[in-house]
């Protein structure tokens, strides 16, 4: 069974995530590609002690990457989760 730390890899801090965090109480997480919405919700609630109302996920394909030779490699595929919290809940990023 996956632990909460296996499901939620990192929190993403970008301009868009900061704007959504302030206006709509939404946070971006980089999560395991095999994780589903229920697992993400449970992991975020346990790790940060907040109440999650909604989870949206987006799958990203890894880009092709040029090696030092004529061969190409590929960056890994990854998944982003946008988690909406209940009003009054916050995640302290400091």
> Over the stretch 23-35, which tens digit does the pLDDT of each residue have?
999 999 999 999 9
- 50 part of a folded domain: yes
Domain count for the chain: 1
**CATH code of the domain covering residue 31:** 3.30.70.330
Q: Which long-range contacts (CB under 8 A, 24 or more apart) does 11-18 make?
A: 11/91, 11/93, 12/80, 13/93
Output the pLDDT for position 75: 93
Does 1 have pLDDT greater than 80? no
User: pLDDT > 90: what percent of the chain?
Assistant: 87
- 92 part of a folded domain: no
66 within 8 A of 72, measured Cβ to Cβ: yes
H helices present in 1-94, as ranges:
4-7, 15-24, 37-48
- 49 part of a folded domain: yes
- 94 part of a folded domain: no
Q: What is the pTM of this model?
A: 0.88
- 90 part of a folded domain: no
1-5, 9-13, 39-43, range with the lowest pLDDT: 1-5
Question: Whole domain around residue 18: which residue ranges?
Answer: 4-85
- 93 part of a folded domain: no
């Amino acid at each position: 069974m996956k632990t909460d730390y296996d499901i939620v890899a990192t929190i993403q801090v970008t301009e868009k995530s900061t704007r959504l965090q302030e206006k709509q109480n939404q946070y971006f997480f980089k999560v395991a590609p095999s994780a589903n919405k229920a697992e993400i919700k449970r992991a975020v609630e346990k790790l940060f002690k907040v109440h999650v109302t909604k989870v949206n996920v987006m799958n990203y394909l890894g880009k092709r990457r040029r090696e030092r030779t004529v061969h190409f490699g590929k960056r890994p595929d990854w998944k982003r989760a946008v988690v909406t919290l209940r009003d009054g809940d916050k995640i302290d990023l400091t």
